[in-house]
């Protein structure tokens, strides 16, 4: 993308080459968070400042970690949906990052089958979405099986409206931990579900409001790499999400 170009709605699918995910694992926590936060911000300004040439034509670079490293990425639009492909990172000095990138491009590493979605990378690296400027709650995952939903409701752990909005792992946690010595504990069940989704310390009414927000209209943008529609809320900021 050229200077001044923007994605539709300032939104994009963000995917990483496996090489980049491995490189992130070698950084300190602060360095890792900085890289990911800067990549997320590309949704607002995808054109970058350092377009590359020759074998890396079409790719761009992003300075991270106080300018000590650079990320190599490509930003474009596919059938009306923004897409950011992040290839690798490396030291800014001595063009080492360009040597890494050239080798990866030559090997064809960033294929649809080998790309890792931003949200999956966060999970692999143990990073909570909010730490890199994302909202970890504005999405609607596939619901749990109907039988489990009925069980949770019949046990008095959750009301049906909330149970329908929980994913399978979230509902499993509610069923396992939603009890005290006197029987079902609806608040404990909800907190257990929230913990699975990696939101800490949110209890009672606030937790219910967050879950119930999943019933609002979804983005629905068709993501080219995930081959799925975005499950974040309508008009969400930044990266699309498939699951």
CA-wise closest residue to 50 among 28, 32, 73:
73
- What's the sign of the alpha-carbon dihedral 223, 229, 232, 237? positive
Q: Do 12 and 113 belong together in one domain?
A: yes
Q: Do 48 and 103 belong together in one domain?
A: yes
CA distance 157 to 160: 10
CA-wise closest residue to 75 among 38, 110, 46, 117:
46
Q: Do 124 and 168 belong together in one domain?
A: no
CA-wise closest residue to 232 among 5, 4, 11, 41:
11
Q: Do 12 and 119 belong together in one domain?
A: yes
Q: Which helix (H) or strand (E) holds 123?
A: helix 118-125
Q: Do 35 and 104 belong together in one domain?
A: yes
Q: Specify if 162 maps to a domain.
A: yes
What pLDDT was estimated at residue 214?
Answer: 86
Q: Specify if 141 maps to a domain.
A: no
Q: Do 75 and 162 belong together in one domain?
A: no
Q: Do 38 and 108 belong together in one domain?
A: yes
What pLDDT was estimated at residue 201?
Answer: 44
Q: Do 117 and 211 belong together in one domain?
A: no
CA distance 20 to 40: 15
List the beta bridge partners of residue 15: 85, 117
DSSP 191-219: HHHHHHTT--S--HHHHHHHHHGGGSPB-
Q: Specify if 223 maps to a domain.
A: no
Asked if 13 and 223 count as a contact pair (C-beta separation under 8 A), the reply is: yes
Q: Domain count of the chain?
A: 2
What pLDDT was estimated at residue 49?
Answer: 76
Q: Specify if 123 maps to a domain.
A: yes
Could you list the pLDDT tens digit for every one of the 243 residues in the chain? 788 889 999 999 999 998 899 999 999 999 999 999 999 999 999 987 788 888 888 899 999 999 999 999 999 999 999 999 999 999 987 788 888 888 888 776 556 666 899 999 999 999 989 899 998 888 888 889 999 999 999 999 999 999 999 999 999 999 999 999 999 999 999 989 988 876 544 455 567 777 878 889 999 999 999 999 999 999 999 999 998
189: tokens are 């069940």
Q: Do 18 and 80 belong together in one domain?
A: yes
Q: Please give the model's pTM, rounded to 2 decimal places.
A: 0.85
Q: Do 44 and 125 belong together in one domain?
A: yes
Q: Specify if 1 maps to a domain.
A: no
Which of residues 132, 162, 190 is at a domain's end? 132
Q: Do 37 and 87 belong together in one domain?
A: yes
Q: Do 51 and 114 belong together in one domain?
A: yes
Domain housing 210: 146-215
């Amino acid at each position: 993308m050229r200077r001044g170009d923007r994605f539709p709605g300032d939104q994009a699918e963000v995917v990483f080459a496996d090489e980049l995910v491995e490189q992130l694992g070698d950084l300190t926590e602060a360095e890792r968070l900085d890289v990911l936060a800067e990549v997320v911000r590309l949704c607002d300004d995808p054109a970058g400042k350092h377009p590359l040439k020759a074998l890396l034509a079409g790719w761009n670079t992003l300075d991270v970690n106080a300018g000590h490293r650079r990320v190599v990425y490509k930003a474009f639009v596919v059938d009306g949906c923004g897409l950011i492909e992040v290839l690798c990172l490396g030291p800014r000095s001595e063009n080492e990052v360009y040597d890494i990138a050239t080798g990866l491009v030559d090997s064809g590493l960033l294929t649809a089958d080998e790309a890792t979605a931003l949200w999956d990378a966060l999970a692999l690296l143990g990073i909570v979405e909010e730490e890199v400027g994302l909202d970890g709650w504005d999405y609607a995952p596939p619901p749990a099986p109907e039988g489990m939903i009925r069980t949770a409701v019949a046990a008095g752990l959750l009301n049906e409206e909330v149970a329908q909005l929980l994913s399978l792992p979230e509902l499993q946690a509610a069923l396992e931990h939603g009890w005290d010595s006197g029987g079902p504990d609806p608040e404990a069940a909800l907190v257990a579900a929230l913990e699975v989704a990696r939101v800490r310390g949110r209890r009672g009414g606030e937790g219910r409001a967050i879950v119930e927000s999943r019933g609002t209209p979804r983005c629905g943008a068709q993501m080219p790499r995930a081959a799925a529609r975005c499950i974040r809320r309508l008009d969400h900021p930044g990266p699309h999400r498939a699951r």
